[in-house]
Chains A and B, each alone.
Chain A
Amino acid sequence: MRPVFFLLLILSCCACENFAGRELTELNNDYAPELVLFSLPNPQDSLLVVDLRRSISSLGGRPDGQGFRQQIPDATVSISDGSVDYPLRFADFDPVSGYYLRLDSLDRALLRPGESYVISAEYAGERVQAEFAIPLDSLPVDAAAFAFETETQNGFTDLWLNASIPNLPGDDFYLVTVNRDTRPASGRRREEIADFLRGRDELGDSLYLARIELFEFNTTTVRICAIDPLAFEYLDARATAIANQENIFAEPTLLPTNVENGRGFVGGLNCQAYVFVR
C-alpha cells in the first residue's frame, strides 16, 4: 500500500488549492486590436455621425485614454458616393460626439434612398471601410397609428404612447428610436434605441411597438426607421449580447460586421419622425 499512499501524496502536492477561482495565465490570447466603425446614416438627419474607436484584447488592462472608451480624435474619416470623398470633422461636444458632416452645408441629397456609399477611416497606418445603402422607405407616409394610455400610481399620472405600423407583406425590418428633450431645449442629444421590429406575414396586419413613456415638460421625438436587414441583425445581436452579459447560461453572441479590416457596423436608415409634446 505504501506506493499508493506515496503516489497520492505526490498528486496532492500537484493539486490546485484554489477552488473558488484560479487565474489561468496559460489562456492568454494574441489578439491584435482593430479599428471599430459605427454609423447609422439617415438622409433625414442634418448630421451624418461616425463613431470611431479601437478594440483591445479581452485580457489585460483597460486603457483609460483615447481609443477604447473615448473616440479616436485624430483619424481621417470620409464618406464617398463613388465620385466624391467628403471628409468628416471630429467634435466632442453637444449635441454630437464623433466625426460629423453637416449634410445641409453640402448637398442635402447626398444620402439618397436606394443608393450605396462607403465610409472609410484611417488611423496609425490602418484603414477600415464599410459600404452601405440607404434603404427605401417601405412605410406609407403617416401610416403609424398612435394611442395614449394613462396609469396613475401613488398620485402621479404616467402617460404612455402605444404605436403600431402596418405589417407589409414579406420581410421588413425597422428600428425605433426615441429622443427626449426638455423644454426649454437643453441642447443635449438624448436619443436611444427603443425597439427593433421584423415584419413577417405570420404576425398579422399590424406590428406593435414597445410602448413609450411621454414625460412631462419633454419633447419626445419618435423615429420609425426602415433598416437594412444586415444592420438589423447587427443591432439585434448587439442587444442580445448586452442582455446576456450577466447570463452565464446563454450562448455567446458573435457580432456580425460589415467593416473591412475592422469591427463594428455601418448601416443606412430611412426614418419617419413623430414629435410629441407633453
Chain B
Amino acid sequence: MRLIIFSGLLCLVLINPLAAQLVTGTVRAVGSGEALFGATIYHPATSSGTTTNEYGDFTFDMVGEAVLIISMLGYHSDTIKGAQNAGAMNVELQVAASALTTIEVTASGRRRDISVPNGLTRLSLQQVERQPVLLGEKDIFKALQLLPGVGNPREGFGGLYVRGGTPDQNLVLLDGAPVYNAEHLFGFLSVFNTDALKSVDLYRGGFPARFGGRVGSVLDVRMREGSRTKWQGSGGIGVLTSRLTLEGPVGKSKNIGVLISGRRTYLDLLFNLISGPAEKNILNFSDFNAKVNVRLGKRDHFYLSTYTGRDNYGSATTRNGKTNKDAFNWGNRTLTARWNHKVSERAFLNLTGIVSGFDFRVRNEETVRDTVYALAYQSRINDLGLKADLDWYLSRRHSARFGLAAYRHTFDLGTVARTVAEEADQVSGQKTNTTELAMYAEDEFTPGERWNVRYGLRFTTFRPDDGSEAFTSLEPRLNVGYRINSRTSLKLSYGYASQFLHLLSNSGPGLPTSLWVPATKDIAPQRGGQFALGINSVSHNDYWRYEANVYYRRTKQLIGYDNGATFLLLDVLNSPTGLDRLDILDNITDGDGRAYGFELAVNYQKNRLAVNFAYTLARAEQRLRGVDDFTYFPANHDRRHDLNINGSYELGSSLTLSWAWTFGSGVPITLPLGTYTSPDLPGTRSTLFELDVFASRNNSRMPAIHRLDLGLRWRRTPRWGEAFWEFGLYNAYARANPFFLEVRTNEAGERAVYQQAVFPAVPSISYSFKF
C-alpha cells in the first residue's frame, strides 16, 4: 500500500511541464571516444545543470542564455555557446595533461553543483597513478583509504571500512556485477587493475535507490569501454606485478571497440628462488578484464564485459618420502551484457544481464607411499541476474529513474571431502538457492536554483528456496542539497537498506575462508540506516575547497564472531572425527552496531601544487549476543582519529613529487588481564592448562600509527607515446607501526606485550607506459 501511495505522489510531483529548449548530447573523451560518465553540464544563466549517465548521454531543458559549460574531473572543461541550435551535441573533452586535481568530487568555484549526492566521491584515476604506495603498486582501495570516513585497521592492506562499517557491508560493483571478494594477496591489493578502469565512485552513505543489498556503502567501478577510434595501450612492470592493457576498434566501421587487460604477480618465482629444492611455494594472483562495445545505430549500444581473477597460495614439502601439500585458492568472475537503447530524446533504457561468482578452496594433502590422504573445504556463491533501468528526463525540474531487478543466488557451503587412495569421499555439503526481486523509483527534483532534492524508494523481497518465509524490505532514500550562496552549500542525506547476504569470516586479514551465506530464519538480514549532514565551500580564488560532514548510523542484526570463533578450521582439518559436528553457525552470533563521526576534507590546488587534507573523528561500536553481556564494545576497526595529508608538486615539466603522511590512533585489541591455571578435571594432576582472563572484548588499544610515503615520477615522451619511471619510498622515516600485538616471554623470563611491525622503509621502482 505504501508503495502505491508513493508511486502516486511521485507521478503528481513529476507532472511539471515547462516551456524550455531541450538540449541533448553525448560527452566523450578526445581520442579514445570513451563515453564519460558523470560529466557535469552546467548552465550559468540559471545556475542549474545535470550530469551524464553511464553512457555519456545527457538531456537538459535550457531556459535563458544558451551557454553550457561541460566539465569532468581529470579533463579540460569546454564551453559551448549557441547550444540551443546544436541539435544532439557531441562534446569531446581533452584529458588534462596536468592532473593536479583533487580526488574529491567538488564541482569547483561558481559551478558548485548541489546535485552531487552527499557522501559521493569520484576518484581521479590520474591522481591514483601519482600516489606513493607500498611497492609502487597503484590501487584504488589505497587511494580511497585517504578519504575522510574511509579507514583501514591494518597497515599496508586494502580493506575498506567506510563510516564505521565493515568490508562486507560495501556493495562492490564492476560494470554493475557484484564482486564478492575484491581483494588479492590477503587484502594487500584490490582486484581492480587501474589501467582497465574508467570511473570509480564511492558512496559513503545516502546512496540512490538504484543500489541495494548492502547496509554500508557502494563502490561503483566501471571498466573502460574500449576505443572505437584507434588502437592504444598501457602497461607497467613493477616489483610485485606486471600488467598490459590494449584497446582499439575492430573493423573499419568504427562501430566496435574492444579492450583486453591482464595483470599477474610473480612472487612465487622469487620465493622459490630462496627456498630449497624440498619446498615449493605457490604465491600468485592474476586478473583478466575484457570488454566489447558495439554501436548498433544512433539509438542502440551493446556492451559485453567480463572479469576473472584468481589467487593461488600453497606450499609443497617433501621429506622422508612424505609429501605435504597445503593450498588456498579463491577467485571472482563477472560477466555483464548490457543493451542501451535511446527510447526518445528524454528516455534511456538499459537492459542488463549479470553473471557473477566467487569461490574459495582450502586443501590439505598428505601423500605417503602413493596413498593420498586429503581434506578439502570449499565454498561458492554464484549469481545470475537481470536488470532493467529507465532514465526518464521529465523536465528541467524532474529527472526520474525506474528499475526492476531479479537475481538468483546459489550458495554451496562448506563441502568437505576426504580422499584416500584416490577415492573421493564427500562428507558434507549444504546447497541453498535464493531469489531476490527488487524494484525502485528515483527522482531528482530541482524546485529552484538553491535546492536539489533526490528521493527514492526501493522494495526488495528475498526468498530462500527451502520454503522458509521470504524477507521483504522497503527502503527510503533522501538526498537534499541547498545552496547557501554561490560558494557554500549544505547537504543532507538519509538512507535505509537491508542486507540479505552475510559474510562469515574471522577478524584476521582478508582470508579466503570468508563464507557468504544467505539470511535465514536463524540469521536474519542486516538492516541499517545512516543519516549525514554536510557543508561544502570553496574559497573566492577557487584554490581552497572545504567539506565537512557529520554522520550517524545504526545497524541491526549484524553478524559477529562468537567467543573463540575461528574459520580457519585447522582443528577440523587435523581431526577428521570432528567433521561430522562442524557447524559454521556455532561460530557466529548476532547483534547491533552503531557508528558516528565527523569528517573534514580540505583541498588546496594552485599551479603546480596540490594538497589534500582529510581528518576523521569517529567511533564504531558493536554489541553481540553472548559477548560481554550484550553491551557495546569498540569494533575491531574503531579508530578514533584518522588524519591523511597527501599531495603532489610538479618539480618541472617531467618530474612530479608526491607524498602522503598518515596518522591513525590505535585500533582496539583484546589483551588478557590475568592468567590462571586449571587442571583438566578437579583433583587431577596430569594436565595443567593456562587460561587467560579477559575483562571484555577489545579492552585495549594498539599504539598509534604514522607514516610518510614519498614518490617521484619521471615522465618521458618517446616517439611511441609516454613512459614513466616511478621511484617510491614507503614509510620513509622507518616508523615501526604495529601490525599485531602478542603476549610472550621476554629475555628476563617475564610475560610482556610485544608489537610486531611488518613494513620498514621500503623502496620501490616501477616502469609504466602508454601508447
Contacts and interface: CB of A to CB of B under 8 A. Distances in A.
Interface string A1-35: 00000001001101111111111111101010110
Interface string A227-249: 00000000001101111110111
B123 interface: no
Say what secondary structure dominates the interface of chain B: loop
B426 to A, nearest CB: 19
A190 B676 CA distance: 22
A106 B752 CA distance: 48
Nearest to A252: B670
B679 interface: yes
Interface string B558-577: 00011111111011000001
Interface string A56-67: 111111100000
B674 interface: yes
A276 B394 CA distance: 85
A248 B580 contact: no
A231 to B, nearest CB: 12
B511 interface: yes
Interface stretch (A78-86, A95-103, A110-118, A123-131): A95-103
Contact of A58 (B565, B673, B681, B689): B673
A38 B678 contact: yes
Interface stretch (A47-55, A135-143, A214-222): A47-55
B429 interface: no
A247 B673 contact: no
Counting contact residues on chain B (CB < 8 A from A), the size range is 35 or more
A126 to B, nearest CB: 14
A192 B563 contact: no
B691 A60 contact: no
Nearest to A91: B683
Q: Which of B561, B628, B671, B681 has the most CB of A within 10 A?
A: B681
Given A51-B679, A242-B689, A62 B751 contact: yes
Counting contact residues on chain A (CB < 8 A from B), the size range is 35 or more
Nearest to A238: B691
B693 A263 contact: yes
A97 B683 contact: yes
Interface in B712-771: 732-736, 740-744, 746, 748-758, 760
B679 A38 contact: yes
B344 interface: no
Contacts of B378: none
Contacts of B507: 249, 251
A26 B561 CA distance: 28
A39 interface: yes
Contacts of B674: 31, 33-34, 55-58, 263
A69 interface: yes
A254 B511 CA distance: 24
A97 B688 CA distance: 12
A165 interface: no
Contacts of A226: none
B668 to A, nearest CB: 11
Contacts of A58: 671-675, 692-693, 743, 751
B755 A192 contact: no
B756 to A, nearest CB: 6
Q: Which of A33, A211, A250, A264 has the most CB of B within 10 A?
A: A250
A51 B563 contact: no
B285 to A, nearest CB: 20
A189 interface: yes
Nearest to A246: B570
Contacts of B577: 210-211
Contacts of B571: 243
Nearest to A54: B676
B382 interface: no
Q: Which of B507, B563, B692, B697 has the most CB of A within 10 A?
A: B563
Q: Which of B567, B682, B760 has the most CB of A within 10 A?
A: B682
Q: Which 7 A-B pairs have the closest CB atoms?
A: A49-B683, A240-B564, A16-B736, A253-B564, A11-B733, A55-B676, A250-B566
9 contacts: A17-B734, A24-B703, A31-B693, A34-B693, A56-B676, A249-B566, A249-B568, A251-B561, A251-B565
Interface of B: 506-508, 511, 561-568, 570-571, 577, 580, 627-628, 670-694, 696-697, 700, 703, 708, 732-736, 740-744, 746, 748-758, 760
Given A58-B693, A68-B677, 8 more contacts: A31-B673, A31-B693, A191-B681, A192-B680, A241-B691, A253-B692, A253-B694, A255-B693
